[in-house]
Structures are given as C-alpha cells and as structure tokens.
Chain A
Amino acid sequence: MKHTISVLVENHSGVLSRISGLFSRRGFNIESLAVGPTQDPEVSRVTIIADGNEYTVEQIEKQLNKLIEVIKVKTLKTGECLARELLLVKVAAGADKRQEIMTICEIANAKVIDLTLNTMTLEVCDKYDHLKRFEQLIAPYGIIEMVRTGTIAIQKGSEVFAHKKQI
C-alpha cells in the first residue's frame, strides 16, 4: 500500500542525503521524494511516497524521527490530503496530430507550453493517477521525453502541519 509521508526538516546541507540513505539502508521502498522550502526559510518540507504495510510505515516514521534534523513527521491519510504532481512531456507530433492532442489536453486539463514543427511539450499538474491516465492517452503519439516532480501533498481543511518556531 502507498503512503504519503510529510517531513519537516532543518534546511541544512546534507539532510536530504541522510533521509534517502535511511530509506535505502533500512530497505524501505520509496516511490517518489520531493523537497522544497516552506514559509519559514529555515525549514524544508519533504514529501515521500512510500510503499509498505502498517509496520513498515510505523518504522519509517520512527526512524525518520531519530534523525536529529527532522523536526516533524506525519503520514497523511488518503482522502484527507490534497496531492499534486507536475508532469512535463515532449511528444512527437507534426501538424496533423496537433488538434487531436490539444483536445486531449483540454479534457485532461493540460497545457501546451512549447511547440515546434514536429514536437509538442505539454504540462499537467494533478494527482498521480490522473497523470498516469494522461500518459497513457499521450503515449500512442510517441513520448520522446518525460519528467515528473514526485508528489507533494497538503492536508485538506484548516488543519495545519507545522512546527514550533525556534526559540
């Protein structure tokens, strides 16, 4: 089963390697890992999509918490969080296919962000499953290059996953 784990960490160099090293040496399966700054410049937020049973997720949380620079860990429940991932894809498409692809983009809420005589570059930002379906729709035209960011997620509603300010 897939789990969305949010981790607040000190924005120090080396933190990411501590986290990724922990996953590989403890044999945890990581599907994606996305990291970026938060509203506090001293704190970064890592979103990890990991595969495993309940026992594994509990161990992941506990082992992450043992890292000194990890401030807070929370597994976000599916259905209680909003998750997004960005996909950029370059498709082989001459003039004859453009209209078809643009129709797919319109339905799938994707954008054409670059165009050449024989390629189209598309952007779509949505849930993991949606991107997967979009990829399947586009594949027959010939995907030349594809890049995804990995999922980031935030809790629904007014509940906040945050840390106390450093005293």
Chain B
Amino acid sequence: MKMTAAQAMAQCLKEENIKVVFGYPGAAICPFYDALLDTDIKHILVRHEANGGHEASGYARVSGRPAVCIATSGPGAVNLITAIATAYADSVGLICITGQVSRDQIGSDAFQEADITGSAEPFVKHSYLVSNAEDIPRIFKEAFYIAGSGRPGPVLIDVPMDVQKEIIDFSYPERAVIRSYKPTGKGNYLQVKRVYSALKESEKPLICIGGGVPSSGASEEIKRLARIMDIPVITTMMGISVFPDDDPLYFGMLGMHGVKSANRAVNECDTLFLVGARVGDRAVRTPLALERTTKIIHIDIDPAEIGKNIGVDHPLVGDAKAVLGQLLELAENDEQPKRGEWKARLASYRTERKFSPAVPGTVNPREFIERLSAEMPADTVICADVGQNQIWTCTGYRFKEGGKLITSGGMGTMGYALPAAIGAKLADPARQSVAICGDGAFQMSMMELATAVQNDIGVKLVVMTNMRLGMVRELQTNGYADRQTAVFLEGSPDIIKLAGAYGIKALRVNSSETMESAVNALAHEEGPLIVEVIVDKDFPTL
C-alpha cells in the first residue's frame, strides 16, 4: 500500500500494537505527528523529553513490552538522552523516535541539528539513522525485536524530515531477520545439570534475584524453585518485589544500603546463585573477596555480564525464565534436602523494625513507608526515586504478592519516579501507581504534574520534604567533616500551594494523625493526589 513514510511509521506502531506514546513535537518530527493524528494511538504530551522517556520506561516495565517515546531533532533529541541512558542502565526496552533535519542539511550545523545517533551511542542497544524511506518497515520491525528480546534496552530511530515525507510502498515484515543478533533462550543442558547439582549439594545456598528476573517475567519460576529446593533468597535493588516481604525464605536487599540479614547471608553462604544480577558496585563492594570464599553460579542472558564483575564457577547463559524452567524440571522430580539450620541462622539476623520518635513537626519517613505498605493494595506499583527516599522505600516497603517496584537502579536518575509512575499508571490503569521522591528530585520533574492533570492520570505522589539533598548532605557530614555545601533547598515552592495551582488535591504529613489520614487517602482515594511528608533534615539513610 502506498503511503508517506511518516504514515508508515505510525502504521508500524499500530502493527506492534502500541496504544500509547509519549512525546514532544517540533518541526523535524511534524510529518510523523501529522500521521499519528489519523490513528487511534493515544499521544501523551509530556512537559520535557527526558520525562517522556521515563514515562515510556515506566510503561514498559509494567506492560513487559517496549514502549515508545518521541522527540524532535536537536534539543528535543538531546534532552531524551538522560532517559535513554537510564533505560539502558536498567535494561528497559524503549523505542525512541526522533526527528532529524533533512538529509541534504545533515552535517551543516543546521537549525536544531544534533548528531543524536552519535551522541546516544554509548547508551543504546542499537540505533538507526534512516536514510532510505523504504527501510522504515524493516527498521521498525528490527527495532521492536531488538529492544524487547535478549537483554532488553533502548533502540533509537532517527528519521530525517524529508525521509518522513517520501512516499513508500508499505508492507510490514512478519519477523525481523538479523544474522548477527540471536539472543540465547534456553541454557546449555549439561551446564543446567551442573548448576542444579551444585545447588542441591550445597549446604548453605543463597539465591540472589536481580533485575533480569522481573524483566524476563520469571518471578513465578524463581519462587517455585526457591520453595521446592528450600533455598533462602535475597535481591538486588532491581530484584525487589519479586518475593513477597513476609515470605520466610526472603531476607531482603543486599549491598551498601541493604539490610543486615541479606548481607550476612551473602557473607555466610557457600554457594551464591545469581539470577539476572550483574554484581554492581553498590550491591557487592568486594567481589574478589566473595569469589574466593564462595562458589558462584551466574545465570545471565548477556554473556558479557558473566565474569565481568565477579569470577564464576558455573556460568550459564540464557533467559532467566527459560533456564529456571529447565532447573524446575530437574528439581520437581527429585528429593530435596531441607535446610532448616541454615534458614534458622539467617532468620536470627533479621532485625526488628523500631521507629525512633520523630522531631516535632516531622514524621519518621521509615514509619510512613511501613504504614503506606500496610494500607496499599497488594498489586500497587511503587516508583522509588533516587536518594535517601529510595533507600527508605526499597528497604522499608513491605511488598506483597503481585506488588511491583520500579526505580532507577543503575543510573540513579533523580526525577525518575514521577514520570515512571505516570507511565506505569497508563500501562495498567486498574493498579495503583505511587511515586515516592524527595523534594530535590520532585523539582526535577514536577512539570509532569501537568501531564497527569491534562490526561487525567490518577497517579499518586509522595514527596519527602527535608529541605535538603539528603543523601549528599549525609555524605558531606560523614566524609567531608560535615562541610555542607550546595545541598540546601530553601527557596523551594510550597508543595501544597503548588498542587493547588495544578488543581491537584494535596495533604501535608507532619504528625501521626496526619500520617494516618494521608495513608488512607493514598490507599482509597482517586488520584491524582500529592502527599508531602515532612522529614527531619538530619534523618539518616540507614
């Protein structure tokens, strides 16, 4: 069928069953916007391109499929880079469509020209600069395949304006054929058997769940395997919410900001089974010491992650869901040892939560998180931002079966939570979606409140106000002789009034009573809703 390349681009999105896109228009992407108008694809006008990318990221993480964000050439495209890098660090499938100046202008430093494929190169799984309009159907098919398969990641498609206007004969390919890209599915059978034996024979095994597990949709498989083989479980930040918090096998998040039971478990286990976890520096500070004392089994879909940060005894390349399925087959037909003593020992490392009384006029943020997790529905999507609030949320929120955490774990991008929560809410409007951020990060993406209002997106937002960039303040206190600088947020707007300006209901929490009513409102009222939680400026992260 004959159509313009811009119409073809829109048609490709239809073929990929895309319902919602996040974007910001400009001259170089206008032909595509014009074509989108004739489809039933819902366009969400974001208030900044980076937030558009984060919204697509939240959408992708809830829907389990790559999501689409759009920007114009030059500044629009360059603004998108933070979101691309954030998605890349957390292996989130994005399709980023950017306009580009016309082909005859490329390289001439034309108005709003930027080499976006070049500048985004370190952060993309792949990128295309479309020079032939006829290639559009193939490129889109490939882009969706690459973004969503293997280790997911962002794929950038940069389309010059004159290309968008050309007429092509459209037909959408049934599958993408890329000879140099064949992601592994199942694991090598012999290696799977070795891994199984190593796990079974281990006296003190430990499973560490990373972001690869939720990403491959392997949550059920890992839970079954852990329960059948009676193996204790910890997670990285990216693996939180796969295991319900109250599960007797679950011992929390490891790492620099992790909980004691998880870190003791890592130190004392004899076999560490890493599933889709890349052993980042915040999770394991001294991998060399660990690999000397502990047998390491590592499943990852990306062969480059195996052996990169930690030496491995049993490497296993494959998709977590597929490989865990193979292990389950072996485990289900076999007698399993019970590991009561090992579990009891780890259980003795669990610490009881005690909430110190808050300074008058503030509340204990950890107590607030605890109360919030008690009231919210089990399937709530929690989007944690970056900083102290991230650690309070990640170690304090008691996720239930079916719950989900979304956070910028790898890149640590401030301002991620609110747009991600908006995207998450759109991907599954029936679920509650709550962003939790600090007053620093809030001001990096607060313009997205307009996006939520305009599109009637019932997102909930908790802002922890301590008038500080709290984690940096703490770093200066502990590491720089308390010489505090550039961490003071005085001058910030009154959040309740600001919410009023957007027409959003807002509540302030500064006492036990206001905490109860705010938690209730978060759990039961319709969004959008903002809750500002007043936190003491010196409240510690851990």
Residues on A lying within 8 angstroms of B by beta carbon are 10, 13-14, 17-18, 21, 25, 55, 58-59, 62-63, 65-66, 68-72, 163-164, 166-167
Contact B177 A68 (CB under 8 A): no
Which of A17, A66, A163 is close to B121, meaning CB atoms less than 8 Å apart? A17
Question: For the complex, is B117 an interface residue (Cβ under 8 Å from A)?
Answer: yes
Contact A167 B177 (CB under 8 A): yes
Closest to A163 in B: B179
A-B contact pairs, 14 of them (CB 8 A): A10-B180, A13-B129, A14-B118, A17-B118, A55-B307, A62-B308, A65-B303, A66-B302, A66-B304, A68-B126, A71-B180, A72-B180, A163-B179, A166-B177
Bound together, the chains give a CA A112 to CA B302 distance in angstroms of 51
7 interchain residue pairs of minimum CB distance: A62-B304, A71-B180, A68-B126, A68-B181, A166-B179, A62-B303, A25-B122
Contact A65 B179 (CB under 8 A): no
Contact B308 A68 (CB under 8 A): no
Contact B121 A21 (CB under 8 A): yes
Instruction: Count A/B pairs, Cβ under 8 Å.
Output: 40
Contact B179 A71 (CB under 8 A): yes
Contact A59 B180 (CB under 8 A): no
Contact A69 B180 (CB under 8 A): yes
Which of B117, B125, B307 is close to A68, meaning CB atoms less than 8 Å apart? B125
Contact A63 B304 (CB under 8 A): yes
Question: For the complex, is B146 an interface residue (Cβ under 8 Å from A)?
Answer: yes
Quote the shortest CB–CB distance from B317 to chain A (angstroms).
Answer: 10
Contact A68 B180 (CB under 8 A): yes
Question: For the complex, is B178 an interface residue (Cβ under 8 Å from A)?
Answer: yes
Contact A58 B121 (CB under 8 A): no
Bound together, the chains give a CA A14 to CA B116 distance in angstroms of 12
Quote the shortest CB–CB distance from A81 to chain B (angstroms).
Answer: 23
List CB contacts (< 8 Å) of B102-135 with chain A.
Answer: 117-118, 121-122, 125-126, 129
Quote the shortest CB–CB distance from A27 to chain B (angstroms).
Answer: 13
List CB contacts (< 8 Å) of B137-168 with chain A.
Answer: 146
Chain B residue numbers with a CB within 8 Å of A18 are 121
Contact A59 B179 (CB under 8 A): no
Chain B residue numbers with a CB within 8 Å of A10 are 180
The winner among B117, B146, B179, B302 for most chain A CB atoms within 10 A is B179
Contact A68 B178 (CB under 8 A): yes
Chain B residue numbers with a CB within 8 Å of A69 are 180
Contact B304 A14 (CB under 8 A): no
Taken residue by residue from 28 to 54, chain B's Cβ proximity to chain A (1 for < 8 Å, 0 otherwise) reads as: 000000000000000000000000000
Chain A residue numbers with a CB within 8 Å of B126 are 68
Chain A residue numbers with a CB within 8 Å of B129 are 13-14
Given contacts A25-B122, A66-B302, contact A58 B146 (CB under 8 A): no
Bound together, the chains give a CA A59 to CA B118 distance in angstroms of 23
Contact B117 A65 (CB under 8 A): no
Which of B121, B122, B177, B304 is close to A59, meaning CB atoms less than 8 Å apart? B304
Since A63-B304, A66-B302 are in contact, a sample of 5 more A-B pairs with Cβ atoms closer than 8 Å, ordered by chain A residue number, is: A10-B180, A21-B122, A58-B307, A59-B304, A59-B308
Closest to B306 in A: A62
Closest to B311 in A: A55
Closest to A9 in B: B180
Quote the shortest CB–CB distance from A17 to chain B (angstroms).
Answer: 7
Quote the shortest CB–CB distance from B157 to chain A (angstroms).
Answer: 13
Chain A residue numbers with a CB within 8 Å of B122 are 21, 25
Bound together, the chains give a CA A58 to CA B311 distance in angstroms of 13
Quote the shortest CB–CB distance from B129 to chain A (angstroms).
Answer: 7
Chain A residue numbers with a CB within 8 Å of B181 are 68
Bound together, the chains give a CA A55 to CA B179 distance in angstroms of 27
Chain B residue numbers with a CB within 8 Å of A68 are 125-126, 146, 178, 180-181
Quote the shortest CB–CB distance from B151 to chain A (angstroms).
Answer: 8
Which of A17, A63, A164 is close to B179, meaning CB atoms less than 8 Å apart? A164
Quote the shortest CB–CB distance from A99 to chain B (angstroms).
Answer: 51
Chain A residue numbers with a CB within 8 Å of B117 are 14
Chain B residue numbers with a CB within 8 Å of A21 are 121-122
Chain B residue numbers with a CB within 8 Å of A66 are 302, 304
Chain B residue numbers with a CB within 8 Å of A17 are 118, 121
Chain A residue numbers with a CB within 8 Å of B304 are 59, 62-63, 65-66
Closest to B121 in A: A21
Bound together, the chains give a CA A69 to CA B179 distance in angstroms of 9
Bound together, the chains give a CA A114 to CA B307 distance in angstroms of 52
Chain A residue numbers with a CB within 8 Å of B180 are 10, 68-72
Chain B residue numbers with a CB within 8 Å of A71 are 179-180
Closest to A66 in B: B304
Bound together, the chains give a CA A167 to CA B125 distance in angstroms of 23
Bound together, the chains give a CA A18 to CA B125 distance in angstroms of 11
Closest to B127 in A: A14
Bound together, the chains give a CA A166 to CA B181 distance in angstroms of 12
Bound together, the chains give a CA A18 to CA B304 distance in angstroms of 17
Closest to B180 in A: A71
Chain A residue numbers with a CB within 8 Å of B302 are 66
Bound together, the chains give a CA A25 to CA B120 distance in angstroms of 13
Closest to B155 in A: A68
Quote the shortest CB–CB distance from B328 to chain A (angstroms).
Answer: 28
